[in-house]
A and B are shown apart, each in its own frame.
Chain A
Amino acid sequence: MSEEETAEGRVLLTHEVGLHARPSVKLTKLAKTFAAKVEVRAADAEAWTDAKSIVKVMALKVPQGTELEFRAAGADADTAVERLVRLVEADFEEGSGDGGTEAAAS
């Protein structure tokens, strides 16, 4: 465990009303499927936020056009960041995950 896997990624949030309830629910649900600790922040922010907490993610009140940053630490960190970035890129639409993920179910 000393060599813990870490990953980071950035993605532009294009969703029309920003990171509102439905996208946040999808994002946190997907984040929770990973063992890794997953965090998110607006690219210009200092503090990182637990991407598995809907309360905290919604509290960011991220508007459209914000660049989001993800970082993860843990066994599946790479996959976590990759999938989260893909979810945001796909504008939180269904099927944006790898199929069969919680995020894709609605």
Chain B
Amino acid sequence: MTAEQRRPRPERRLTGQSASPGLAAGRLVVDRRAALAERVAGTPAEERAALDAALAAASERIADLAGDADAMGGEILEFQLALLEDSALSDPAYTMIDDGAPAPDAWASAIDAQIDDYEAAGDDYFRARADDLRDLKDRVLARLADAEDGDRVPGPDSILVAADLTPSRFLEIDWIRCLGAAVASGSASSHVAMLARARGVPLVVGLDGDIAGLETGAPALLDAVDGTLTVDPEAESEHAFAGRLAADEAARAEQAAYLDRPAATAAGEAVAVLINVDDPALLDAVDPGHCDGIGLTRTEFLFYDRDGRERDGRDRDGRDRDGRGGVDGLPDEETQYRAYARLVAWAEGRPVTVRTLDAGGDKPLPGLTAEDEADPFLGLRGLRLSLARPDVFKVQLRALARAAVEGPLKIMVPMVTAPEEMAEAAALLDAAVSELEAEGVAARRPELGMMVEVPAAALSVDRFDAAFFSIGSNDLVQYVTAAGRGNRHVARVYDPRHPAVLELIARVASHGRVAGVEVSLCGDMAGDPELLGLLLDAGLRTVSVAPSALARTKAAIAAHGGGTG
């Protein structure tokens, strides 16, 4: 529905919380997947008719698209069209409907069987077709939810509105075309929020109000600084927003001036600013000269594909990837080695800190993490899991020791609680290095440091034998305040400014100074200019932030008075 067809509507403002700051003015794209959940199934005859109509509508749309597509896109669409016309695909769905299944369930089940079959293929090419089928699955489901295809794929200058946004969905979206998002669920410390901050995508979460009543195409202003979404804005609102956008642009330009200089406080004290890497593909857009290295690499990217499902054999760039021959089909040593060596090469001699697999908690990894945990955040996660699965851990340690030959790579282990765990990790690393040496494989023992995110570790930090400490503020805040980082109901309690949090940070920083051990902080606190001052006051002089936060972090450091030294 175009703007011309719509009657003017009164301005509405929905409020939520900012999860990734930024401003965007555009047109809404309302993701109707939620509508699917509310869809009421009819009789088998009605469901049959619904699926008929959805398949026909999807075919028609694909045929249209194929007409405009380039050769490669056209080939994929032709394939999808042929699939839609093939009763071998739809018959099982109709059979399920006759047995009483709702049309969306029946369709999903029928096409999932095909997707599974492609994913099981030994051949990269056939495995890659699973994505085409997934796309087809979504197209038809969107039709069953009475939504336009346009609702699925945000166009240029759009603002996505959805009941929920999963990491997989987030990674699918082209955030050049789509300017930002507002979602009803989630919290500022969820993983989607982290992804959004890493890419500088404005995101509002916990959006209140009637999302289903919003219309795709409606003009809207997303204010992911104050956490509001204004739909059908009045001219006055638009004008004020345009002013803020311009000021924001100017501020960004000003901050950008700090990018290629080393960071220092107003008092001239140097502060090292490194970057967090959750997806190496992001590095293509980052100049290594703008940072002091990589302070945190989340190696989960190797273990999860973009849908959060395991290992479909392709990396995020969509390239086919071999190397799923490791333990339980996890990435093998060679694949991991290549990924780590790539980071080291990118950093051009700057330190690269790689965190070992941090699965568990809210990042389950089927087949690896425990499935019967009532409290995964207090369970077998991080280093605890790695020590429980030395077979998996060792593959990663070997790959890291090999990549350390290429440059200054450091290993960091997450979720350490007791010094014995560090000792055990160190012994496994020594063993991995000896093994490689015995095999005649080039290897170097990287420095082994630890994350400080468990309050017990922060309080007894002087008992740990570690080459460096990195404070993981996201988890530290969650464990100190006993407030889940992804739980919006307690978002107010999850307070990084809590004196207990700041005291623990100061304590770790102080230990580092006394013992001559580097202490950094790699959580979201570092990327928030308002909190950064508190960290500098607490004595920290090394921070690691999302690449998109580099400029504003350096600018905020320059504006800081200095003080404690």
A contacts, CB < 8 Å to B = 17-18, 20-22, 24-25, 28-29, 50, 53-56, 58-59, 61, 63, 106
Contact = CB atoms under 8 A, between A and B. Distances in A.
Contact of B88 (A22, A56, A61): A56
A22 B78 contact: yes
Given A29-B82, A54-B86, A106-B74, 10 more contacts: A18-B125, A20-B126, A21-B78, A25-B79, A54-B85, A55-B86, A56-B88, A61-B121, A61-B123, A63-B123
Contacts of B121: 61
A22 B75 contact: yes
A50 B75 contact: no
Contacts of B129: 20-21, 58
Main SS of the interface on chain A?
helix
A53 B123 contact: no
Interface in B513-528: none
Name the residue among A21, A24, A25, A56 with the largest chain B CB count within 10 angstroms: A21
A29 B79 CA distance: 11
B83 interface: yes
Interface residues of B, number: 21
A21 B88 contact: no
A53 to B, nearest CB: 4
A21 B76 contact: yes
B88 A25 contact: no
A55 B125 contact: no
Contacts of A22: 75, 78-79
Interface of B: 74-76, 78-79, 82-83, 85-89, 114, 117, 121-123, 125-126, 129, 132
Contact of A53 (B74, B79, B88, B117): B88
A54 B82 contact: yes
B82 A28 contact: yes
A20 B114 contact: no
9 contacts: A20-B125, A21-B78, A21-B129, A21-B132, A25-B75, A54-B82, A58-B126, A61-B123, A63-B123
Contacts of B78: 21-22, 25, 106
A65 B289 CA distance: 50
A17 B89 contact: no
Contact of B114 (A17, A28, A55): A55
Contact of A55 (B74, B83, B122, B123): B83
Contacts of B76: 21
B126 A55 contact: no
Contact of B123 (A18, A21, A59): A18
B191 to A, nearest CB: 33
A92 to B, nearest CB: 11
A55 B79 contact: no
A24 B117 CA distance: 17
Name the residue among A17, A29, A55, A59 with the largest chain B CB count within 10 angstroms: A55
A27 to B, nearest CB: 10
Contacts of B123: 18, 61, 63
B83 A59 contact: no
A59 B129 CA distance: 11
A31 to B, nearest CB: 11
Contact of B83 (A17, A54, A61, A106): A54
A106 B82 CA distance: 13
Nearest to A29: B82
Contacts of A25: 75, 78-79, 82
